Every structure is written in C-alpha cells, then in structure tokens.
A and B are shown apart, each in its own frame.
Chain A
Amino acid sequence: MKKVKKVPKIFRKKYKEKAFNKKILKRIHIPKEREKVEALFEKNEKDRYVLKGDISQETIKKLKPLAKTIKKNKGLVTKWKAIIVLIIVGSVVFFNFIFKDKLIESFAESGLESLFEAEVEIEKLHLSLFKGILSYESLAIADADKPMFNLVETGRAVLKINMRELAFKRVHIEEIALSEVLWDTPRKSDGSLVEGENGGENTSEKEDSSLMDTLSLNSGDFDYQAIINSQKENLSSLKLLSESNQKIEEAQARWTGILYEKESEVKALSDKVDTVKSISLSSVQSVDEAASLIGEVQSYYPEVEAAKESVVQLNRDFKSEKETLFSMKDSLSYSIDTDMAYLVDTLDITTGDFSSIASDLAEDYVRARWNNYYEYGLKAWNIVQKLQSAENEDKAESRGLNRAAGRTILFPSPDKPSLFIGHAGLTGGDEKQGHLVMDIKSISSEPDKTKDPVSLNLILTKGEQIIVLKGVLDLKTDSPVLFFMTIDVPGNPVALEKGIPVLGINRLTSIADTSLNGTVLYDDDTLVTVLKTELTELDIIQSADDSVISTAVNILFDNTENIELIGEIAITKEGIDSIFFQSDFDTLLQDSLGSYLEDLKSTYTRELKDNLLQYLSPDLEKNEAYSSSLDALGVQSINQISSVNRVKDVLDDKVSELENRGDAIADELKSKAQSEAESLVDKAKDKIKLPGF
C-alpha cells in the first residue's frame, strides 16, 4: 500500500495575514515558488490563511523541502556553527590539559633543532597560561660540529612571563632561573640530524716542531750531526752536491771515451803524414818533379783540416758541458749558506733578544684561550643571525608575501620595550669545567625604554681558581660607553706545564693576581682590554744540566719575588686585532742572559757550519776529484788540437821546402840559360860586321 504523505507542519498552521507574510512568504525567495505557495492558501471565515483541502500528493512532496528551507532561512546565526565553535573551545580546553605541553615541547624541539642544526631534547616542558610560567626539567642541545657532544645542556628551568604585558604585545620575562648548566658534555647518542653525518673531532693537534724543546742549551751536549741527519731530507746542498757529482761522473766517463777515439784518429793521421817527411829534397832534380811532390803533400790538407775542425769542435763541446757542470758546483756555496740559515732557523735559537719572552708567552696564552672563546662566539653569532632571518621570514609570511608592508605608526604608550628579561639567574658547571653562577639583569630589545643597562655578574670557581666578571652593556643611544667589564682573578695558581724550554725551565708554577678592564666605546666595534697580572711565589723546575743559562736562570728566579705583566688587547668582530704585552721580567732576562745567548748563537752557527761541511766533505772531495779529471780531459782535448796543428805544420814545412827546392832549380836553370845566351851573343857579335863601322 502506498504511503500517504502528510503536509509539513509549517503549512498546516493557521496564520493571520501579517504572520503569513512574515513567516511564510517572506522566507520564500524564489518568486515562482512564492506564487505557487500563495495559491495553495486561502482565507477562512476567521480571516486566517489556511491550506486548501484539495492538495495532491505530488504537491505535498514538493512542499516538504520548501518547508525545510523556510525553517533554514530563520535567524542570523547558524546553530551548527555554534556547535562547531563549542567543540573547538572544548578541544582547546582539553588540549590545554592533555596535549598542550607535549605539542609545545615538540614545536620547541623542532624550532631549536632548525636553529642549531643538531638534535635537541627537552623533557617535561610545562606551560601555565594562567600563571604565565614556562618550565622544563632538562634541555640538551647537541653540537652540530661535534655530534657526540652537547653544545649546552641544562637542568630545570623556570621562566616567569608577565601575562598582562603579553596582552600589549610585549614579552616581559620577569625571571629566568636556569640550573645545572653544562657545556661541551659527552652524549650517549649521535646528535646530528642527518644519519651518518658526523662532524668528527679533530683532536690531533699539530705538534710544535721546535727542536729546542728536546735539546739542551749546553753546547757540550749539542749533537749537531743528529740535527743535520734529522734534516738531511730538507738540505738542498746535499742534493745539489750529489746530483753534481753524478753528472760530472757521467760526463767524465763519456768524454774519456770520445777523446780516446779522437786521439787514435789524430795518431793515425799523424803517422800518415809522417811519410811526407821521408821525401828527400836532394832527389828532386827538376821543377816539374818539385811541383809534383808539392801536389802530393797538399793532397793531405783536406784530411788534416777536417781533423782539426773536428778536434776544435769537440773541445768546444767539452768546454760548454764543463761550464754547465761547474756552474752547479758554483751554486753549491750559495746552497750551503741557505742550508745553514735553515738549520739555524730550525734550532729556534733565540736571537739573544730576551726583551719579549714573558710577554710572548702571555700573548700565546691569550691567543690560545681566545681561539676557544672565538669559536663559541662565532656559533652564537650564527644562531643570532639565523634567528633574525627567521623573524623576518615570519613577518613576511604572516602578512602574505604579495601584500605591501605599509607603514606602522606608533602612538604614545608606556615606555616599555617589546622584549624584556628582568633577571636571568644561571647556575651550572662541574668539577671539570668549574662551577658557574651568573646573573644577568635588564635585557631589553629597546634599551632606550629601559631604565637600567644590561648588567652581568659571573663567578666561576674551579678548584682554587676564582674568576669574577662584572659587565655592563649600555645600548642606549646617548651612552658614551657601549660595554664595560672587569674581570678579577685573585690568587690563582698557575702552572706552565711545558715550562720555558729556551731557558731550560721544565715547569713553572706561581700564584697569579689578574685584573682586566674591557671597554667598547659607542660607534666603535673594538673591545679594548687592559690586563694586569702579578705573578708571585715563583717556583721553577729546571732541566738537569749545569749550563750557564740554567745557572743564570736559577739565580735570577732566586732573586725575583714577583713578575708583572701588563697587556693591551684590541678585539674586533674578526678576532684579535692587536695584542701587546710587556713585563719587567723580560728586562731582567735581557740584562742577564741576552748577551750570553747572543754569543751562544754565534757558536752554534759556527759549529753547525763546520759540521755541515764535514758532513758534506766526502761528496765534496769526490766532486773535487771528478772536477780534476774533467780538467785533465780538457788538457787532453787541447793536446789533440796541438797534435793536429803539428801535423799541419809538417805539411806546411814540406811544401815550403819543396817550393824552395823548385825555385832553386828554376833559378839554376835560368842562370845557366842566361850565360849560354850571353856566350852565343858574344859569338855572334864577332861574326856579324855592321856597315859603316
């Protein structure tokens, strides 16, 4: 059976005209539908609007959703939205009690991890919104550079936030109490964020290569040969000498062979030419015969000329190579001087200038300590910069990147900074690092709105050592001094465990009273620090020798009650800009030991040079021998030229003799012919009678 649909209740009611318009017609916003509904109603006898009786099931079906929309169009606020808000409020309250702390802890951890780029662990973080207290039981921040160590870890911390100021968009932390602060502590697990990434620890330090640490200053014990042996790889003279010897030896062997061959050639030529000597001039009877013999002798010339040219060229080549080899030998003396300078440097013998031993030690100490602080300072600086860039990104993100920043106009308000930390108390450290108690007051983001400047008090105790630091950071615009601090370290036992090797001191202990003043002026980024240290109760342990230095140092320390050190250090963002120390101890040392050590240095240098030459002497001797051999070969080459010249002279002489013989024969024939002619003329004269005579 088909189900009969009922007319919705809203249409079954009887309405006065005003109510009908208000509750029905005005809530139908589609004109066509309104007309349809209006047509379905009629006025009864009581002047009320009622639904007509003959309404079809089809129409009733269409009226149902219409009734729903009419109900829906009632009121200005939607119920389901109110329910959603109630659910949200309920969730927030629930979250506040159950999840709030865990969520904040998780957010804080991830925020700090992105800041420090290393693992961060916070335990039992709790935020009380009503009391304005944020606390946690422990915090550990790993060191990104040394993942197996914590950069810093703290125990319980409590931050008391002024909630009233927070309502004015000002973060005022009235009190921070931080306990059990430790730094550079070992971790149980790797603290790097990326698996396998380990910054590692470079614990191996470059050892001081100064030989003086292992040598006594007593010249009698000084093992020069050991020094030369230990440094032989670095000595250029030794290498040069060895190379030179090898080359000369090779050249000598080669040239001996060449010159021997040439010698044989010259000898053969000489023998050949010697046959010319056997030509007897008396056997030459005619000019033709002489001319023929001259031709024979001259036929040797080309061979002799070629031989001469060859030996001369050979001699030239030999000379050239010899010069090259001997130039190496010449640079040897320069090389020995260079090696000497190197060896003296390696010895690290003081120049005898004792005006800066104590001040140099102080400078080295300060620089070494500074490097540690500078490393921490750089890390802190990087974190601050990251924090600033993150703040700027957040601001840009919150207003939407494509929106203009506009102009923020400030109105008179109580002179309170947007960020203020009233008091931060910090305790921590351990036996190894020292116990730390620190108080910082009045940290402000807008110093001009803060009454007091930032003040810092720190007391660090480590065994018997006490360091007291007091500092004031005044960032107000009219403040002439930006930063001022004093550090007092009274009665501090100090020990120079490595001693002062150059003075034969193995260990030095004393009590130091140090005071330091540091100042940074406004508009100047340089921290100028003046340091004054007085060392008393001086005690030294000397090396077991009876050298003059040891004796002198012993006497000096016996007569010295205290040492005063005064220094000035200028530090900028880039590091130590300048450092200067002076000490009365340096003057005393200079007076008593300076001249002695100056002489000692000269002795060392001289002895070292002798020893070096002695060390090189076998090679030097070999070098001399090879050089002599080469000289001998040179003489041999010159002799060969002479031999060839002598052969040529023989030929020249013979040619000359033959020419003379030819000339003599010619002259003889000529005179004979002339006399015969004259006799014939005379005879003819007699026979011929001239007319008229």
Chain B
Amino acid sequence: MDIVKLYIMIGLFAKLIVALNSNSRPGEMASAIAFGFLLALIPGGNLLWVLLFILAFFLKHNMGSFLLSLALFRLITPLFDSLLSSFGGLILDASFLRGFFTYLYNLPLFSYTNFNNTVVLGAFVAGVVLWTPVFILFVKLVRIYRKTLAPKIAESKIIKALKKVPILSKLTKAVSKLSVAI
C-alpha cells in the first residue's frame, strides 16, 4: 500500500514538473494549489468539503498540483486545528452573526456542511481569506520560475549531463510529450 502511495506521489510530482514547464496558465497551477490548500484546511466528512471538491474538480486547473498540494498541506493542517477552532468559535459566537447562522442552520441540506463546527467554519473562512494570497503568490512563483529559473535549468551542465543518461533521456522525452511543449 505504501508503494502505491509513493507511486501516486511520484506521478503527481511528475505532473507538477510537466505543468511548470508547459504552456499552461500560471493561474491554473496557482488556483490548483490554492484549492488544495483550502480543502486540506477543512476537515473532511461533510457536505462543504464535498461541494468545494466538486467545484475544484470542475474548474480548469492542474489536477496534479491540486492533489499534490492537498496531500502535502493535509500533513500540516492538524497543527493549526486549535487556532482554527478558536477562530471559528469567534465567528460562530459573534452575536451580530447569530441571526445569519440561525437562518443557515435551518436551511435544508445545510446541516450536512457542519458549518456550525468551530474547526470547519474556522478552516473555511481562513481558507477562503488565504485563497487569494496563496493564488497570487503561486502565480508569481510560476512566472518567476518560467522567466528566470526554467531557461537556466534547461541550459545547466548538470541537466545536460543528466539528459545523456539513457533512462533520464527517455523520461525527458516522455515529459516533453506530456507537456506538449515546443
């Protein structure tokens, strides 16, 4: 089972590398990572998470980056649970929002979102707030990579030497095919 997980992780990482070096929109990658971050932040097992996942699935962005960021962020999000719970509690306990939450609470299907749980709501609000900064950050990072790092890496002696290794050469060609790059 661990080997399967490792295989999947390597596959996702390869897709990320391919996407970085292909002519895909930087926004596609950045939004994938931002959605992965948002979904990693929100505890699973509720309708809110499912709906966000469906939304992320429908939007055009790099699935490799999305799943990889989801998996990686999920490893660290439990560390922030108490913080998220306090934040969520602060919002849910706010008297001026009580009417609004009561309204939501009494809407059909809304109970399944578990929005009245402090960790869920804290994570959701924090995730939504942080979505844009994460998105912008990764758009810029992709652009920087493509403008400055990618040409240097491609021209570096190490990469050229590595490309001569038969297996790596085949891998590069496969990656090139996948990336549909010129």
Contacts and interface: CB of A to CB of B under 8 A. Distances in A.
Most-contacted residue by chain A among B26, B58, B102, B112 (CB, 10 A): B58
Interface residues of A, number: 45
Contact of A406 (B22, B23, B28, B118): B118
B38 interface: no
Most-contacted residue by chain A among B45, B122, B182 (CB, 10 A): B182
B117 A29 contact: no
A1 interface: no
A60 to B, nearest CB: 11
Contacts of B6: none
Given A399-B43, A410-B116, A77 B180 contact: no
B59 A77 contact: yes
B147 A31 contact: yes
B44 A65 contact: no
Interface stretch (B82-90, B129-137, B158-166): B82-90
B182 A66 contact: yes
B5 to A, nearest CB: 16
B21 to A, nearest CB: 8
A498 interface: no
A188 interface: no
A73 B25 contact: yes
B13 interface: no
Given A29-B25, A167-B108, A400-B45, A82 B58 contact: yes
B3 to A, nearest CB: 22
A402 B78 contact: yes
A29 B182 CA distance: 12
A65 B180 contact: yes
A412 B24 contact: no
B116 A409 contact: yes
A169 B122 CA distance: 22
B71 interface: no
Given A33-B182, A65-B181, A411-B101, A406 B119 contact: yes
Most-contacted residue by chain B among A27, A82, A406, A408 (CB, 10 A): A406
B44 A62 contact: no
A29 B119 contact: no
B11 interface: no
B106 interface: yes
B109 A167 contact: yes
A66 B23 contact: yes
B96 to A, nearest CB: 14
B151 A33 contact: no
B60 A75 contact: yes
Contacts of A403: 43, 77-78, 81, 119
A147 to B, nearest CB: 35
A32 B146 CA distance: 9
A413 interface: yes
A402 B119 CA distance: 13
A404 B85 contact: yes
Given A399-B45, A409-B93, A404 B119 contact: yes
Nearest to A406: B119
Interface of B is mostly: helix
Contacts of B43: 399-400, 403, 406
B7 interface: no
Contacts of A169: 111-112
B53 to A, nearest CB: 12
Interface string A20-40: 000000011111110010000
A30 B58 contact: no
Contacts of A406: 43, 81, 84-85, 88, 117-120, 122
B147 A29 contact: no
Interface in A412-451: 412-414
B152 interface: no
Interface in A47-76: 62-63, 65-66, 68-70, 72-73, 75-76
B139 to A, nearest CB: 10
Contacts of A32: 151
Contacts of B78: 402-404
Contacts of B45: 397-400
B73 to A, nearest CB: 13
B98 interface: yes
A12 interface: no
Contacts of B147: 31
A363 to B, nearest CB: 53
A82 B151 CA distance: 36
B44 A400 contact: yes
B146 A29 contact: yes
Contacts of B117: 406-409
A78 interface: yes
Contacts of A414: 106
Contacts of A402: 78
Contact of A409 (B58, B92, B182): B92
B108 A168 contact: yes
Nearest to A36: B182
Interface in B97-145: 98, 101-102, 105-106, 108-109, 111-112, 114, 116-120, 122
Interface string A157-186: 000000010011100000000000000000
A111 to B, nearest CB: 18
B119 A405 contact: yes
A81 interface: yes
A31 B89 contact: no
A85 interface: yes
Nearest to A79: B60
Contacts of B58: 77-78, 81-82, 85
Nearest to B59: A76
Contacts of B89: 407, 409
6 nearest A-B residue pairs (beta carbon)? A398-B45, A406-B119, A169-B111, A404-B81, A167-B108, A69-B23
9 contacts: A30-B181, A73-B23, A73-B25, A73-B28, A169-B112, A397-B45, A404-B85, A407-B89, A413-B105
Interface of A: 27-33, 36, 62-63, 65-66, 68-70, 72-73, 75-78, 81-82, 85, 164, 167-169, 397-400, 402-414
Given A167-B109, A406-B81, A406-B119, 19 more contacts: A27-B25, A29-B24, A32-B151, A33-B23, A69-B181, A70-B23, A73-B24, A78-B60, A167-B108, A398-B46, A403-B119, A404-B81, A407-B89, A407-B117, A408-B118, A411-B101, A411-B102, A411-B106, A413-B106
